[in-house]
Structure 1
Amino acid sequence: MMAAAQKPQSRQPEYRDGHGFIAEIIRTNRRKSADIRVEDGAVSVVVPVNTPAEKIDQLLAAKRRWIKEKITLHREMTPASSKRYVSGEAFSYLGRNYRLKVETGNFAPVKLLNGRLVVTVPNGTEQPHMIRNALVRWYKRQAEQKLTEKVNRFVPVVGVEPAGVGIRTFKSRWGSCTAKGKLEFNWQIMMAPNRMVDYVVIHELCHLIRHDHSPEFWREMARVMPDYQRCREWLREYALKLSI
């Protein structure tokens, strides 16, 4: 099995309150300076392993205006959601609906407990935004784990070896296969039923054989997944509902 698609090492999530946003702290040996990122409206700070929390707080305070501008820009560009991010609201994970449970307090990442998606966030006007970001982070973590596992499961069936697996946000596709053979998946596919997720994984693996949608490509799909057409049609019909 290729090393690039092995199960990601688990690390304990670390967060800092930026007063109006929550920043995820990612510690790494591969950096000598800090790097702030705002993706999907969520803030993350990549720092050297031993960076003190106080220094991270100082950096967030210094860059607060820039971060808030980026968050606001993302909100303005994101289509309006019908979600209110309140307790009792349903969110789909692998085709099953789970009810959101919002608790008030110091921020804690989403946990799936007793059939509920539980998130703890401070009270205030920013609460819905923080809840959405917490959910996005949770879905991305599930996608990183589950999609890597599925790739490893289907690699010997398809008979290919991808260069790696990545999780991204795509506006109008579920995945892609790069010219270098890396598979990239849209984290939102985790809202679809399990078989649809299998379809997307197999689809991108088959692109390592045929990098087009020729009859030969679909023959490979049918060989590995005889019911692929049903999954393809399901995703076309329900794509717009797979969003938060």
Structure 2
Amino acid sequence: MPVFNYGQTSFEWEYRLDNKLKRHYVTVERGRKVLLRGPLVSTQEQEALVAQRARWIRDKIAQVNMPLVTDNIVTGSRLRYAGRSYFTEVSHQSALSKPSLHFTAARFVIYNPSGNSIHPDLLMPLLERFYRERAQEKLLLRLRYWERATGLKAAGASIRLFQSRWASCDANNYIEFHPRVMELATSVQDYVIVHELCHTVEKSHTKKFWSLLASHMPDWQQRHAVLERAVFGDAV
């Protein structure tokens, strides 16, 4: 297994051929080798792709290897939405058959039949459902706005879970967004949208792609930098 050295960090990586993909993706996950996936390229080109993302990979390795959150969510915990961290209240409601999550303008409220705390494993499906509903309500409308603003057009769009990507634009220009995009600030959500719209014209991250992106969003680099700090895989 090849090893890449970046400063004081060394990591094993592997390449997986996937001719269904039009570009290459790097995935960093806890306890696994760094994975490079995409169409057929030479060993030298594989190494160049890994080197191109070495700093990002180093930072993601540090993030995903942080201790897992195992503490229960209680009143006073914080949950993320639209780039902010919101106060969370956990309310014991013994009459309920299962927990539920609600959002007001200022806080999350969790009604829990089991007590005044809830384990993250029980919370995550509720939070994911919340993100999905908000994405259906807000993100797809925002996509329409950016289609009008840029003149770029998706064949369609939907919300679905990915293993380790924020969004995807397929060969038929159909765009899909991960529900977790709703964790991000609105300006970064817009970056994800415009990024994928640019892939309706340029499938790979060529100089032409980045120039097209810059023409529609001159400050894309600042928004991209914020996205880079989130724990997810990324395209190269």
Same fold at TM > 0.5: yes
Q: Which deviations, in whole Å up to 9, do the C-alpha atoms of 1:170-228 show, x marking residues without a partner?
A: 23321100122211112112112111110000000111111111111111111110000
Distance 1:193 1:114, change over 3 A: closer
Give the Cα separation in 2 of the matches to 1:208 and 1:109.
38
| Alignment partner, residue 84 of structure 1 | 72
What RMSD, in angstroms, separates the aligned Cα atoms of the two structures? Answer: 2.3
Q: Are the equivalent residues in 2 in contact too, given 1:143–1:167 (CA < 8 A)?
A: yes
Cα deviation 1:132-185 (Å, max 9, x = unaligned): 221121111112222101101000122122122121222332110012221111
1:111 to 102, 106, 123: 102
**Structure-1 separation of matches of 2:71 and 2:213:** 36
Secondary structure (helix, strand or coil) at the match of 1:172 reads: coil
Kindly report which structure 2 residues correspond to 1:90-105, keeping only aligned pairs within 5 A, or say none: 90-105=78-93
**Could you tell me which residue of structure 2 aligns to residue 149 of structure 1?**
141
Instruction: Count the aligned residue pairs.
Output: 162
C-alpha distance in 2 between matches for 1:192 and 1:132:
17
Distance 1:93 1:160 in 2: 28
TM-score (norm 1): 0.60
Amino acid at match of 1:194: T
Q: 2:194 aligns with which of 163, 188, 202?
A: 202
Cα distance in structure 2, aligned partners of 1:83 and 1:190 = 23
CA-CA distance at 1:127 after TM superposition: 4.1
Whether contact under 8 Å (2:99, 2:113) holds in the other structure is no
Describe the superposition over 1:109-143 as per-residue Cα deviations: whole angstroms up to 9, x where unpaired. Answer: 4221251101212206x942332221121111112
Tell me the SS of whatever aligns to 1:160: coil
Matching residue within 123, 142, 155 for 2:114: 123
Match of 1:177 among 162, 169, 179: 169
Equivalent position amino acid for 2:177 in 1: F
Equivalent position of 1:240 in the other structure: 231
Any unmatched runs of 5+ in structure 2?
Answer: 1-66
> How far apart, CA to CA, are the structure 1 residues paired with 2:149 and 2:201?
13
The equivalent of 1:159 in structure 2 is 151
Contact 1:121–1:131 (CA under 8 A) maintained in structure 2: no
Q: CA deviation at 1:82?
A: 5.0
Q: Which runs of 4+ in 1 moved over 4 A?
A: none
The alignment partner of 1:203 has SS state of: helix
Does 113-122 or 216-225 show the bigger shift? 113-122
Structure 1: how far apart are the matches of 2:215 and 2:178?
24
For 1:89 and 1:127, the matched residues in 2 are separated by 11
Matched to 1:122, the amino acid is: P
Q: Which residue of 116, 122, 127 maps to 1:135? A: 127
5+ unaligned residues in a row in structure 1: which ranges?
A: 1-78
Question: Does the CA contact (< 8 Å) of 2:91 and 2:110 recur in 1?
Answer: yes
User: How far apart, in 1, do the equivalents of 2:159 and 2:185 lie?
Assistant: 18
* Identity rate, percent: 32
CA gap 1:131/1:198 in 2 versus in 1, 3 angstroms = same
In the alignment, the residues of structure 1 paired with residue 197 and residue 105 of structure 2 have an alpha-carbon distance, to the nearest angstrom, of 34
Does the residue aligned with 1:210 lie in a helix, a strand or coil? coil
Cα 1:182/1:113, change in 2 over 3 Å: same
